[in-house]
Amino acid sequence: MKKLFVLLFIGLFACTYEASAQTTASTTIALDTVAAKSYVGKYKMKDSPFEEIIVTLQGGKLTGEAVGQGSAPLAPTKDVDVFEVVGYDGKLEFVRNENKVITKLKLTMQGSTMEGDKQP
């Protein structure tokens, strides 16, 4: 009887763990690293407390660095070309031209929106 109870408990735990893992995985949005390469570059900021933002791709993750201010991971959102600035309660949106090429970004933090043009 004890063996049956232990096996039942382990089976219940395994099912609960599996359901939890599936729920967590479905809420995480994966980054398309091939598409993410188009975001990489330097963006010259306008009317901003920092001169430029440098976006890099390392280990399959995007990072944004506000020169002189520090860096933060950029987490994909459900919206294409929009990323959460992790740890700063901000969002970074990449703007494309009519040819679908990224030409600028918009950084929204603390109620302010700043723009930067992508440098060649």
Instruction: Give the residue numbers spanning the domain of 19.
Output: 1-29
CA 84/CA 97 separation, integer angstroms: 22
Domain count of the fold of the chain: 2
CA 69/CA 107 separation, integer angstroms: 14
HSE toward the beta carbon, residue 79, CA cutoff 13 A: 9
pLDDT tens over the chain, length 120 residues: 444 333 333 433 333 334 333 333 335 688 877 889 999 999 999 988 889 999 999 999 999 999 988 999 999 999 999 999 999 999 999 999 999 999 999 999 989 999 999 999
Does the pTM surpass 0.85? The reply is no
pLDDT of residue 28: 66
42 with 99, same domain: the answer is: yes
- Bridge partners of 70, per DSSP, are 66
10 with 40, same domain: the answer is: no
pLDDT of residue 47: 87
